[in-house]
């Protein structure tokens, strides 16, 4: 029997935020035939949510909603329109350092450090500021480590920036470029820092996620399940019949696992670009991409019985710079929504105490419950002992005072993601400058967190808009602001489009 063949103007591969953004825009413009496919039954990709057998929710990494785009806001508000669908939080974040909690960002809050450390940090900050005055504007930092030295001084780089970023990225900061930094890293104001040190004052909130939203139910993944439901279901193929087995770029055909062949005009793949090269069986592209580097992410979840301790309070997420724990970030996931864990009347047995001892009773008992979600990076520079990772993480929680030794653990979760962070390595920009146009010449627009490999525009809103703007580019030659101008989109509210006011180039649409 001959394979079934489908013809579409635009085929989207992947139903994470990028793919759903592309599909949403295609549906809105109604100017091209389209189809979105994904091998997973549930949409969400790297922004999905898992549920443990005991009923604890854990996102596949630390995700919250904050936005640079009105269009993105419109789309998720359309999918989850009720006020009760969301919780809004003020970020409360700290860095664990020498047994105390330093408000985030660390480099803006040296006022809480010991006096001798304040002096050393300020000395180097002032030296860095004076050196910057005489530096030629064309003299750009060669790597992220040099950027840190120039912006925060040697001492802060030594005690925080260098070791912390290695824990996050699992690669030395000397191997990373400095063009990605933008709004991701706070550059201290030396005058303000000095004033705060003298007045013994903590700096205010910084960054685009100082206020953020989180869905009431379903975790982050619930957002994308809801967005997918707003699409024409006949144009979605999720699960086994949406799995891609081969992409023939010359014939412009994608082969699906169920035997269907999709003939396309333009392709928007959102898988990792190195995986795309393998699927294309393109040796030339694989060679171009060889210098790219990425780290893997291990997510560990711990569900605990009992009232949330006072020492935890309303904290959101916490950063860790020292070696008494394997994780670089801990999220008090139960603080985001009361529905991220079982309700109090649910009865669960205690699996173990935090200190490893057996509980006095294995009977199923009621809550209340709270939870912690941890992230551990991994790479060839920073290997991880998977066989002891859960145990090491729980001990790390005790070491950093997040758990008491006698706390009752009722649920645990461990999951590894091979592609966790797309590293902005020194070689990255040159690789992308060759790889993305090469694919575009074949009518393939590789987009998304790993599809375009740009961490600085890899948040959920950025990724979604990469899909939206790829469609605009295909339909009308629209400029892809997010992909090509990260600093621009990250320093302004983008209101150039809204969900309900599309005007096509030829006058079609609303």
- Three-state secondary structure readout of 81-139: CCHHHEEEEECCCEEEECCEEEECCHHHCHHHCCHHHHHHHHHHHHHHHHHHHHCCCCC
State mean pLDDT over 463-492.
93
Per-residue confidence at 86, pLDDT binned at 50, 70, 90? very high
Separation between Cα atoms, residue 30 and residue 66, nearest integer Å = 28
Per-residue confidence at 508, pLDDT binned at 50, 70, 90? very low
- 333 has pLDDT over 50: yes
Tokens 């859960």 — which residue?
390
Whole-number Cα distances in Å, 187 to 131, 223, 365:
15, 33, 49
What would the pLDDT profile of 162-173 be if each residue is shown by its tens digit?
A: 999 999 999 999
pTM for the structure as a whole: 0.92
Q: Which pLDDT score, from 0 to 100, does residue 239 have?
A: 96
Percent of the chain with pLDDT over 70: 93
- 52 has pLDDT over 90: yes
Return the closest-CA partner of residue 373 out of 398, 397, 349, 391.
397
Question: Could you check whether the bond before residue 468 is cis, i.e. omega within 30 degrees of 0?
Answer: no
Beta strands in 74-183 (DSSP E): 86-90, 94-97, 100-103
Fold of domain 294-420: Polyamine Oxidase; Chain A, domain 2 (3.90.660)
Measured in degrees and rounded to the nearest 5, phi and psi for residue 182 equal 45, -125
Separation between Cα atoms, residue 229 and residue 43, nearest integer Å = 10
Do the beta carbons of residue 334 and residue 55 sit within 8 Å?
Answer: no
Do the beta carbons of residue 16 and residue 265 sit within 8 Å?
Answer: no
Separation between Cα atoms, residue 242 and residue 248, nearest integer Å = 16
Q: Which pLDDT score, from 0 to 100, does residue 313 have?
A: 87
Q: Which pLDDT score, from 0 to 100, does residue 137 have?
A: 85
Q: 414 - beta bridge partners?
A: 300
Separation between Cα atoms, residue 464 and residue 468, nearest integer Å = 7
Tokens of 213: 């939203």
Q: Is 171 exposed, middle or buried (0-12, 13-18, 19+ CB in 10 A)?
A: buried
CATH number of 5-48+66-83+218-293+424-489: 3.50.50.60
Domain extents in the chain: 5-48+66-83+218-293+424-489, 105-199, 294-420
- Among 308-312, 348-352, 471-475, where is mean pLDDT lowest? 308-312
The two beta strands, 317-320 and 294-305, are: unpaired
Tokens 């060889």 — which residue?
290
């Amino acid at each position: 029997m001959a394979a079934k063949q489908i013809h579409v103007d635009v085929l989207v591969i992947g139903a994470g935020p990028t793919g759903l953004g592309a599909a949403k825009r295609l549906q809105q413009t109604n100017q091209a035939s389209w189809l979105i496919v994904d091998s997973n039954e549930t949409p969400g990709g790297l922004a999905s949510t898992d549920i443990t057998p005991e009923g604890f929710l854990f996102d596949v990494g630390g995700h919250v909603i904050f936005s640079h785009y009105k269009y993105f806001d419109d789309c998720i508000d359309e999918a989850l329109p009720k006020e009760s669908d969301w919780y809004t939080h003020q970020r409360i974040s700290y860095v664990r350092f020498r047994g105390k909690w330093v408000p985030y960002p660390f480099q803006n809050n040296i006022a809480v450090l010991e006096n001798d450390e304040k002096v050393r940090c300020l000395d180097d900050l002032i030296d860095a500021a004076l050196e910057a005055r005489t530096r030629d504007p064309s003299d750009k930092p060669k790597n992220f480590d040099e950027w840190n030295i120039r912006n925060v001084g040697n001492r802060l780089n030594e005690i925080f920036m260098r070791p912390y970023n290695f824990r996050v990225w699992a690669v030395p900061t000397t191997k990373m470029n400095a063009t990605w930094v933008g709004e991701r890293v706070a550059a201290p104001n030396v005058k303000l820092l000095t004033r705060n040190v003298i007045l013994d004052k903590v700096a205010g909130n910084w960054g685009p996620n100082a206020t953020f939203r989180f869905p009431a139910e379903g975790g982050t993944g619930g957002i994308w399940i809801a967005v997918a439901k707003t699409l024409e279901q006949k144009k979605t193929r999720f699960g086994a019949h949406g799995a891609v087995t081969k992409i023939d770029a010359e014939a412009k055909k994608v082969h699906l696992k169920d035997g269907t062949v999709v003939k396309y005009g333009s392709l928007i793949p959102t898988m990792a670009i190195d995986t795309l090269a393998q699927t294309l069986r393109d040796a030339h592209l694989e060679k171009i991409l060889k210098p790219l580097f990425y780290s893997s992410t291990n997510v560990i979840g711990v569900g605990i019985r009992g009232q949330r301790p006072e020492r935890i309070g309303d904290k959101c997420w916490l950063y860790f710079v020292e070696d008494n724990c394997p994780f670089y970030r801990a999220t008090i996931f139960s603080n985001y929504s009361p529905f991220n864990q079982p309700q109090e009347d649910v009865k669960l047995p205690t699996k173990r105490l935090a200190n490893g001892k057996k509980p006095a009773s294995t009977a199923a008992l009621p809550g209340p419950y709270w939870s912690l979600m941890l992230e551990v990076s991994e790479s060839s520079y920073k290997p991880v002992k998977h066989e002891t990772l859960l145990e090491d993480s729980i001990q790390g929680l005790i070491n950093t005072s997040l758990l008491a030794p006698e706390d009752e653990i009722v649920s645990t979760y461990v999951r590894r993601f091979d592609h966790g962070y797309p590293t902005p390595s020194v070689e990255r920009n040159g690789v992308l400058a060759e790889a993305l146009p090469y694919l575009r010449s074949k009518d393939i627009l590789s987009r998304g967190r790993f599809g375009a490999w740009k961490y600085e525009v890899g948040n959920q809103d950025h990724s979604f808009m990469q899909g939206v703007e790829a469609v605009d580019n295909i339909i009308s030659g629209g400029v892809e602001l997010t992909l090509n101008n990260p600093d621009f989109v990250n320093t302004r509210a983008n209101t150039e489009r809204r969900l309900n006011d599309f005007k096509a180039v030829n006058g079609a649409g609303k």
